[in-house]
Chains A and B, each alone.
Chain A
Amino acid sequence: MPTETRAVPTPWSGLRRLTGAPVLLGLIGLAGVALFVLPLGAVARLAFFGTGGGGDAIADALRSPQVQRALWNSLDSSACAAALAVVVGGGLGLLIGLTDLRGRVALSFAILMLTMIPPHVTAIAWMQMLGPSSVLLQALGIAPALGSTHPLYSREGVIGLLALQQVPIVYLTLRAALRALPRDLAEAARVSGAGPARLLLRVILPLLGPALLAGFALAFVSALGNFGVPALLGIPGRYVTLPVLMWQRLASSGPAVLADMAVLSVIIGGLAVLAVWAQFRVLRRGAVALIGPPQQALRLNLGRARPLVAGTLWAVMALVVVVPMLAMLATAVVPTYGVALTLQTLTWQHFHEVIFVQAVTARAFANSAGLAVLAGTGVAALALATGALSRSSFGLGARAVTVLAEVAYAVPGLVISVGFIIAFLKPIPVLGLSLYGTHAIILGAYLSAFLAVGLKPVGVAFAALDPALHEAARVSGAGFWRRFWRIDVALAAPAAASGAVLVMLMAWNEVTLSSILWTRGTETLGTVIFNYEDGGYSTLAAAMSVISVLATLVLLGLLHVLGRNLPPGIIPWRG
């Protein structure tokens, strides 16, 4: 056996070590400043200290009847939708998470489709399903009379569709909490003589209280920032929410009203941050320390009711997920909106139109695909760097970026967009480049708004890793970059990839961020669909929506396959 000692590292390897973690810290710091500090700081500065801003401007805005009504509508719709989502999502979570229902993964997947299909597409699909020319309602003979107001163009319509979109958020929060619940607690209650009802009411629901509250807060914040649903249903229904009001003002006056935008942004952004903060406070006070490892969840026996429950659930899922999609598809294949769908009227002309004829739609597909891929890979890279940094002596920098990303995620998307316009409208000093009107400004907004989505799975993966794996590499003589590539990146890559696909999905489907950032040449899929629908081209909007949903399904399938090699909890519908 050779026993001579290998060469001791030379001084210049010490120099290279110096350029390790600090370089990563610099990169993360730069991203943090460009993506979060500059845009959000610009909004705050303009709102509080700029010309046309300040305390008086905020007070004036709050006194304006228009803003008051929009603010009230926002609070009303978000709170009602979140409450509805807690009832429905919570019930689904308990039913699927606690019983021996079959096909839980498939059901979870179906529930998740409610958020995976973007709000504006959902709104279009439901409008087709319940409108006067609905194939479904006509067949049932209960279609509203032609010319009557669409039933969804109302407060109730907005709340209903918002709630539908938030159901998966509550459902996922509850399922995660159920997974973390030690099975012993439930079994101890059962051997103490508690039947299923007592077990649910006295043990499980009290322990799930914090999760339900967290679900409510998340759903509330998400509904508060929603643009697609209130824009498509609320504008015709004269039920204007704050994000829609902001979009209307910006669309009619352009960047001239930036100070006004900043003031409204501070109001709605402050509301969102306040809601998240209040949730943290309540959660911390109400937290009950759970002792014991998480285990396979309880499987309460539904007995003879099982086929009935399963059948009902699937029927409801079909009604809220599949039927609206079919209605949308039906609209996409008739010559003009309102024509009944028969074999004679069936036509693919709208698909031909949006794919081959219209330059703007082709551009939108290309823009959204490119932006989604760049946003996904960018977020994955930033998440990996942040994860590796959190293990080094610069962990504080990683935590700071994580907190900033969480704030940006909570803040309504429109606020992020306003921030990017204010911060990057003027040319960047030295470079003399203006980002406004380029793809870069949309990409920046995507990175800012979606970084938290990519940080989460990578954070889970890093937390699940034995620290000794990293230490073993250190004592094996590996320097910073060798450890970064061979250990950190290699081990967290599957989680980062799943985060990247999630971000791609969100970027592909989003409309809120780009609705005020797009210019001619940088149209996104969401804005084109929205503008077609808004402009009355329902058949073209439906055709584009169908293609976008198909692409979404392909990405979801990819995620499902990726999920095979991941720890449970990263792919939402698995486990």
Chain B
Amino acid sequence: MSITLHQLTRRYGAVPAVDDLSADIPTGCFFTVLGPSGCGKSTLLRMIAGLEPVDAGTIALEGRRVSGPGLHLAPEARGVGVVFQSYALWPHMDVAGNVAFPIEATGIARRAARIEAKQHLASVDLDGFADRRPADLSGGQRQRVALARCLAARARIVLMDEPLANLDPHLRAAMEDEMAAFHARAGATTLFITHDQREAMALSDLVAVMRAGRFEQIAPPQDLHDRPASAFVAGFIGRGVVLDCTVTAVAPGHAVVRLSPDICIDVRASDPGIGPAQVLLRPGDLRQDPAGVAGRVLHCTYRGDHWEARVQVPALARPVLVHLSQRAVPGETLGVAFSGGWVLPAG
């Protein structure tokens, strides 16, 4: 394991920012911590980097314990790379100087360090930019300088704190590809912090959804979307509606749930018990079907390549989301067919 977190806790006053958190992050993994602002994800990153002390628990990097009771290895001795949200490029050094800095810190002379830095700049396609100041670069170029600085440090663990948050939306998609390429090239274990589920889905091997200082679920992106462990995860990732239901029959990987006296559907499940439960219905689990259950359209929103309608089926407690190929008028009645769903694990 590359990063091992064990019962990690950090409090600000009485409020825990990170609360008894444990996780193992495999070597070479692109591991994303996804959560709303204030969930403690930046504190977690800062503790791993050594920029923040731990109140309880331990952190081990590459098998070496770096934080724990009575132990705090200084950030400069941990050998991790960090890409900051602001990129933290030193404004008084040129681009090559920024990238050469971690090389110099290992004791290599300035001139030799600059030569090595230029190789790293070449690997992020910034060949001609060595003598520019960070202020003269675009957002995407600054991002790449920050990545090159990480490469120069030859860190086996790279921590990224919302590195795409300051970029224009159209640039963000392009930088996602660069991030993936960077990860493949460096082969370093990457811990990526974000509040953007789309980024997390696009980049990660594993995603941890964080809430109030704890990981709610750690899973590959598709599992997270299709098989969320809790209503919070289900609500945070993708679109969908969680409804109360009763499980009436079970089979391996499947269950039959009753949503109302008239509506029973076959859904995916992982070992549920017979009885009351909650089911997640994604828009993909429903479709418009004149032969289905009748519902009234409350609201219709254009989502780019389809229309998303919020439809109230009278027998259900909450409106469901249905994808339509054409616009529907609020107040209109349309038929809805249920083709699947996911029973949220109990507890």
Contact = CB atoms under 8 A, between A and B. Distances in A.
A4 B90 CA distance: 26
Contacts of B50: 474-475
Contacts of A2: 154
Contacts of A7: 106
B76 A476 contact: yes
B280 interface: no
A56 interface: no
Given A474-B75, A476-B76, A1 B82 contact: no
Interface in A471-513: 471-479, 482, 486-487, 490-491
A554 B92 CA distance: 27
A9 B104 CA distance: 13
A8 B102 CA distance: 13
B154 A3 contact: yes
B154 A5 contact: yes
B76 A477 contact: yes
Interface in B190-219: none
Given A4-B154, A5-B154, A468-B86, A476 B102 contact: yes
A478 B105 contact: yes
Size class of the B contact interface (CB-based, 8 Å):
35 or more
Given A466-B88, A469-B90, A476 B151 contact: no
A476 B77 contact: no
B187 A3 contact: yes
A193 interface: no
Interface string A4-43: 1111110001100100000000000000000000000000
B279 interface: no
B91 interface: yes
A478 B92 CA distance: 16
A487 B76 contact: no
A487 B106 contact: no
Interface string B76-105: 111111101110111111000000011011
B105 A482 contact: yes
Contact of B151 (A1, A4, A468): A1
Nearest to B185: A1
B245 interface: no
Contacts of A474: 50-51, 74-76
A513 B163 CA distance: 54
B62 to A, nearest CB: 8
B90 A8 contact: no
A472 B98 CA distance: 10
Contact of A468 (B88, B123, B186): B88
8 contacts: A1-B185, A471-B88, A476-B102, A476-B149, A478-B76, A490-B90, A491-B90, A491-B92
Interface of A: 1-9, 13-14, 17, 466, 468-469, 471-479, 482, 486-487, 490-491
Given A1-B186, A8-B77, A479-B105, 4 more contacts: A6-B79, A474-B51, A475-B51, A475-B80
Q: Give me the 8 closest cross-chain CB pairs, A-B, nearest first.
A: A468-B88, A476-B102, A472-B88, A477-B105, A474-B75, A468-B84, A475-B82, A478-B105
